[in-house]
Amino acid sequence: MTITTTTTAIVAQEPKTIGQPVWSLEEIAIDTPGNHEVLVDIIATGVCHTDLIFSAIPTGTLGTQYPRIVGHEGAGYVRSVGKNVTSVQIGDPVLLSFDSCRSCEQCVEGHPAYCHSFAVKNYVGQPGRVPLRSGPTVARHFFGQSSFARTTVVSEATVVNAKDLIRSEDELKLFAPLGCSFQTGVGAITNICNASSSDSVMVMGVGGVGMAAIMAAKIRGCKAIIAVDRVPKRLELAQELGATNVVNTSGENFDLASAVGSLVESGPSIVIDTTGSPSLIEEGFRITRRRGKFIFVGVPPLEWGLHVRASQHINTGVSLIGCIEGDSVPTKAIPQMIEWYRHGNFPIDKLVTFVAAEEYQRALAGLHDGTIIKPILVWGPQKQSSLGVQ
């Protein structure tokens, strides 16, 4: 038996009811970083709907194994590095993003979010890598990081060195969500759509991703920016951040086409869906302007598919585009967002709510009822203990 240092993590157990995550605080062993891995003491990590989805689907779906540790918007400090790591040193502050192979054609061409191994490296992770104190092994390396833990081993590909980007530890905590939700919304506008002042943009769902898209559209000078949501306070904030118009979907007999048609007669040239709602997706697709772009960001039910009548679609010229991580290169996207923040153009401090990691249920409840836009779990000081491992 060897004695291994342990840490605390939020562990997702197999859900009893599909769609309802079962999380619990557990002690797990701290693994030793491999040659291209980094051991990071996490101080904060954003909570994203992707974390909920991938801890509430059946075993085997998209390679999911339980128990597992999710979390993919981590921020912290490097404790140790593998022998082949070159991007960071012990003590460096880091922001974490997604994993990629860095060698396939998509990675080499500057599109790591479309890495040929993206699903395996980010959704599946590494089953059975470290043990729980209670006995079973736990899957980690979700998005190359599994940052719902005080200390975690991460892939070097996920790491953005923040030593020249941050001014304080409070900023490091604030910037945690830049590595996924915020860069996804920004990249949908700047990379995938290359939006300009001639575009009218409609964002369906103004959570963290949607709000980031709205701010990016404002930065790009888009002539109309329409926020669509069912939560009045979110719509108010969306207007503060740059939306020129808002549409509340909560009313009876709501009709998106009528509501938006009165704002942009020929339909928006860019429609971004972050909700994953089949009905909204169908309506949003139908009202997209001819030769416009419809961007899938939110994840609809896995078995659902959008029906497109080819004979009609030919005449519209509308592009249907899937968006992963905003087609971003994190080492470029994150510094850009921080620069915008410094100039007052990307006020993400208005979007976040800090929650003690031990109170993760409050973060989940806030996401569910819409009272929290972007929860950030904050970890207290590391308390080390030992775990006997065979």
pLDDT per position as a tens digit, 201-235:
999 999 999 999 999 999 999 999 999 999 999 99
pLDDT at 386: 43
Listed in order, strand segments (DSSP E) in the chain are 2-13, 22-29, 37-46, 74-81, 93-96, 126-131, 137-140, 151-155, 159-161, 200-204, 224-229, 245-248, 270-273, 293-296, 319-322, 352-356, 374-378, 386-389
Write the DSSP symbol of residue 326: G
| Cα angle, residue 177 at apex, residues 129 and 66 outer, rounded to 5° | 25
What 8-state DSSP symbol labels residue 13?
E
Residue from 85, 246, 248 nearest 157 by CA = 85
Q: What's the pLDDT at 5?
A: 82
CATH of 6-179+351-378, one of 3.30.70.270, 2.40.128.110, 3.40.50.2300, 3.90.180.10: 3.90.180.10
pLDDT of residue 135: 65
pLDDT at 102: 96
pLDDT at 147: 98
- For Cα atoms 96, 298, 288, give the angle at the middle one, nearest 5 degrees: 130
- In the chain, CATH 3.40.50.720 sits at 184-326
Per-residue pLDDT, 68:
94
Pairing label, strands 245-248, 224-229: parallel
Angle at 234 between CA 229 and CA 236, to 5 degrees: 105
Percent of the chain with pLDDT strictly greater than 70: 94
Class of domain 184-326: alpha beta
Report whether 355 contacts 375 (CB < 8 A).
Answer: yes
CA distances (Å), origin 333, targets 130, 184, 187, 248, 330: 32, 10, 8, 31, 5
Q: What is the dihedral of CA 334, 336, 342, 345, to 10 degrees?
A: -110
Residue 307, token pair as written in the block: 């029906």
C-beta of residue 7 within 8 angstroms of C-beta of residue 30: yes
Distance CA 294, CA 288 (A): 7
Residues of the chain with CATH 3.90.180.10: 6-179+351-378
Q: Max alpha carbon distance in the chain (Å)?
A: 71
* 10-residue averages of pLDDT along the chain (390 residues): 73 92 93 94 97 93 91 98 98 99 98 97 79 74 96 97 98 98 99 98 98 99 98 97 97 91 94 97 97 96 90 94 98 99 98 98 93 96 49
pTM: 0.94
